[in-house]
């Protein structure tokens, strides 16, 4: 219980430190939401609105004259109450992110599941055929793909499969003419729109998992207890699944949970490339508009995702691998 409390307390402190640091760094950026509001109001009001009237309207909508420390105290108090503030363009930040998070989670969870599954299966075959042409070819392919940035593949897929051939849509998460719901037409539209973003992550991501699985499996295949298992007459399929596969995957569990947060951060550029309205898409737009509340809201969401992955990995690793039980020795960060 003390270990659980310690890990949760560390996670809460890390979240507080990240939010505080992000708030300070954002305040140092040139410009601000007030400048964006002034530009918008000038466009709407033309030259008929005086500078004093313009400033009064901005002050009424946004606390631009409060000192930074007071803004920090007010913001932290609002966050503790679940209020992430008002975006200068999209309205309530919590409501906007509540609608965006499911799309980002769907995109990243599907990608991570496919990357991990393909990588584990391919890595196991590579280990069992170590030194063969299949092993050498798969290792080279995995290295090349794992070294390729996902956004390069994303741009290539978008150019050739969306803009030139029209096989896939160029943006959005479903056809605009369809009403959201759990019916075949809408589900197929969602999968059609998510296919290229998911493919970009999977193509460049499964190679790393395959190489990890290959290395772990080769190490396990040299263990003495496998020779004992064969002498006992156990089938090769049982040895492969219960002895080799299980012990090779265990070291990858912590990396998998931490990767949840890493992939969450990687969605920022991916969603912008495919104009996929998720958390990353809103973050990029918020940076361009100096939309501080939206930027802070997305930073908090990404930080929470990373911390959840690490904490879950820490608290569940001992249950998955009883050999790791023993308090601080199983910490993953």
The answer to whether residue 325 scores a pLDDT higher than 90 is no
Roughly what angle, to the nearest 10 degrees, separates helices 33-45 and 51-61?
Answer: 130
Instruction: Give pLDDT tens digits for 3-17.
Output: 788 888 988 999 999
Roughly what angle, to the nearest 10 degrees, separates helices 133-147 and 93-128?
Answer: 160
Contact 155, 274 (CB under 8 A): no
Minimal CA–CA distance to 112: which of 150, 144, 81? 150
Instruction: Give pLDDT tens digits for 236-263.
Output: 888 888 888 888 888 888 778 777 767 7
Mean pLDDT of the chain: 83
Contact 193, 172 (CB under 8 A): yes
Distance CA 19, CA 300 (A): 7
Distance CA 34, CA 68 (A): 14
pLDDT at 328: 46
The answer to whether residue 206 scores a pLDDT higher than 90 is yes
pLDDT at 332: 45
pLDDT at 139: 94
The model's confidence at residue 59, banded by pLDDT at 50, 70 and 90, is low
Instruction: Give pLDDT tens digits for 63-97.
Output: 666 788 888 888 889 888 888 888 877 788 999 99
């Amino acid at each position: 219980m003390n270990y659980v409390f310690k890990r949760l307390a560390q996670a809460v402190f890390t979240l507080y430190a990240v939010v505080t640091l992000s708030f300070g760094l954002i305040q140092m950026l040139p410009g601000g939401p007030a400048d964006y509001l002034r530009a918008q109001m000038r466009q709407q009001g033309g030259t008929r609105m005086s500078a004093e009237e313009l400033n009064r309207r901005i002050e009424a909508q946004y606390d631009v004259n409060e000192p930074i420390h007071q803004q920090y105290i007010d913001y932290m108090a609002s966050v503790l109450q679940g209020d992430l503030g008002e975006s200068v363009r999209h309205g309530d930040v919590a409501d906007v992110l509540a609608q965006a998070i499911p799309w980002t989670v769907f995109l990243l969870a599907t990608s991570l599941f496919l990357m991990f599954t393909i990588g584990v299966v391919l890595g196991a075959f590579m280990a069992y055929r170590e030194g063969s042409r299949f092993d050498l070819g798969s290792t080279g392919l995995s290295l090349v793909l794992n070294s390729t940035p996902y956004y390069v593949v994303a741009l290539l897929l978008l150019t050739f499969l969306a803009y030139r051939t029209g096989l896939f849509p160029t943006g959005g998460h479903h056809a605009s003419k369809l009403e959201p719901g759990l019916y075949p037409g809408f589900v197929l539209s969602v999968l059609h729109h998510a296919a290229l973003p998911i493919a970009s992550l999977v193509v460049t991501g499964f190679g790393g998992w395959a190489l990890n699985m290959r290395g772990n499996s080769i190490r396990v295949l040299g263990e003495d207890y496998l020779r004992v298992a064969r002498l006992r007459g156990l089938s090769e399929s049982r040895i492969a699944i219960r002895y080799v596969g299980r012990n090779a995957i265990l070291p990858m569990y912590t990396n998998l949970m931490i990767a949840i947060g890493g992939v969450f951060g990687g969605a920022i550029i991916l969603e912008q490339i495919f104009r996929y309205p998720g958390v990353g898409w809103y973050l990029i737009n918020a940076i361009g508009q100096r939309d501080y509340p939206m930027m802070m809201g997305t930073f908090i969401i990404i930080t929470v995702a990373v911390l959840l992955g690490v904490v879950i990995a820490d608290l569940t690793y001992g249950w998955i691998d009883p050999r790791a039980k023993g308090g601080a020795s199983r910490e993953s960060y």
